[in-house]
Amino acid sequence: MDPKLHQTILLSSFKLIPFIFIAVFLLSTPSASQLSSDFYLFSCPNVERLVRNTVESASALDSTIPGKLLRLLFHDCLIEGCDASVLIQGKGTERSDPANKSLGGFYVVDSAKELLEVLCPGTVSCADILVLAARDAVELTGGPSVAVPLGRRDGLVSSASNVRPNMVDTSFSVDELAQRFTSKGLSMDDLVVLSGAHTVGSSHCDAFSERFKQSSNGTMVPVDTSLEKGYAKQLAETCRAGASATTMVDNDPSTPSLFDNQYYVNLLANRGLLHSDSVLVTDARTRRTVEAFSESQDAFFMSWAESFVKLSIIDVKTGDDGEIRFSCSSVNG
Ligand code: HEM
Ligand SMILES: [Ca+2]
C-alpha cells in the first residue's frame, strides 16, 4: 500500500477513537434508560390497576401497610439496586440482617405477584411490583401520584453482608447520610425530600433509644436535649423502662397516617423522632429545604415525585440481566 495512503487511513482511524469511546459509554450507561412507562402495555396492560387493588385492600384491612411498603422499597433500592433482593427469604439473605428485621408488608407484594402470575405469567418483575406498591401507598395516604417507569428485572443475589455497608443508620450525621445517598446517585436535597417518608408509619422504641437514658428512679430522661420537652416526655412515657420491645411510636405525632408536609413542620419544632431526622434541621445545608417544605406542601409533593423516581431507578437491572421471578420470596430454581 502507498505509505501516504496508509498514514492517512491510520490517522483517520485515530480520529475515530473518541467516537468509539462515546459509543461504548452510551451503550454501557445505566440501564435505567431502558425502563419505560408503557413497558407492560401489551404483555400485561392491567398491571398497575391490579397492584393498586391489592395494596388498597391490604391497607383497608391493616393501616400499617402503606408505611411498610414504602420502607420496603427504600431498603430494597439501597442494596443491589431496586431488584427485589430484599424480598428473598432464607439464611444469610438481606432480610436476615438486623437492619431489616422490622421490615414488613412482604405478603402484599407476594399476593400481587400470585395474582399477576395467573393473569400475566412470567411477565412482571417483583422489583416493578414493589415500586408500584410503594408508589400507590403514598397516593393512598394522601400523597402525590407519581408516574414511574417500569421494566426492572429481579436480582439473583441477596446477601446479608451487603446490607451494613450500604444501609443508613439513625446515628449518622448529615455528611454520613449524604455520602450514602450520593453513592446511590441521590443528592442532599433528595435526602431531605425522601426522609419526608417519615410523615407516615411508625418506629420501635429501640430506633431512638439512644436519645434517652434511664434515671436512678427508673424513668427515661432525654440525653438529647434538642428534643422539644413535651414531645420528649411523651416518648419517654410510651417507651418507659420495661415497655414491650414491640411498642411502636408514630413517626409523625400530628398526622400519623397522612402523607403530608407535617414531617417538616415537626422537625422545625424539634419534634423529629429519629436522630437522623433531627440532624436535618441542625445542618444549614439541609435546613433551608426543610423550611421550604414546611411552608409549602406543593413544593414537597413536586420534589417528592422527582426524588421518588430517582430512588426507584437506582442500579436497576434490565434487558437480559437478572430474571423475572416466579415467586417474589425466592430466585427461580
Ligand atoms: C435517611 C435515613 C433514614 C434512616 C436512618 C431511617 C431509619 C428508619 C428507622 C430506624 C425506622 C423505624 C423502623 C422500626 O423501628 O420499625 C424507619 C421507619 C420508616 N422509614 Fe426510614 N429511614 C431513613 C430514610 C427513609 C427513606 C428515604 C424512606 C422512604 C423513601 C423511609 C421510609 C420509612 C417508613 C415509611 C418508615 C415507617 C415504617 C413502618 O411504619 O413500618 N425512611 N426509618
Ligand atoms: Ca435490592
- The three-state DSSP-derived secondary structure of 293-307 is HHHCHHHHHHHHHHH
pLDDT of residue 25: 47
Each residue of 286-320: pLDDT tens digit? 999 999 999 999 999 999 999 999 999 999 999 99
In angstroms, what is the C-alpha Rg of the chain? 23
- What is the distance in A from the centroid of ligand 2 to the CA of 32? 15
Of the candidates 312, 100, 31, the one whose C-alpha atom is nearest the C-alpha of residue 186 is 312
* pTM, to two decimals: 0.92
The string of pLDDT tens digits covering residues 160-207 is 999 999 999 999 999 999 999 999 999 999 999 999 999 999 999 999
Residue 137: C-alpha distances to residues 145, 192, 312 (Å): 10, 19, 14
- What one-letter code names the amino acid at 47? V
Chain mean pLDDT for the chain: 93
What ipTM was reported for this prediction?
0.99
- Name the residue with the closest Cα to ligand 1, atom 8: 170
Give the chain's domains with CATH numbers. 47-166 (1.10.520.10), 174-310 (1.10.420.10)
State the average pLDDT over residues 238-249.
93
Q: How far is CA 96 from the centre of its chain?
A: 18
Q: Is 168 close to ligand 1, i.e. is its CB under 6 Å away?
A: yes
DSSP, collapsed to helix, strand or coil, labels residue 145 as coil
Catalytic residues: 75
The values of phi and psi at residue 101, to 5°, are -65, -25
Total Cβ atoms within 10 A of residue 199: 29
Mutate which of 74, 107, 208 to test ligand 1's pocket (most atoms within 8 Å of Cβ)?
74
What confidence tens digit (pLDDT) does each residue in 22-44 have? 444 444 444 677 999 999 999 99
Eight-class DSSP state of 86: G
Give the residue-averaged pLDDT of 125-147: 98
134 lines ligand 1 (CB under 6 A): no
**How confident is the model over 227-237, as a mean pLDDT?**
96
Which pLDDT score is estimated for 22? 47
Provide the pLDDT for residue 3. 60
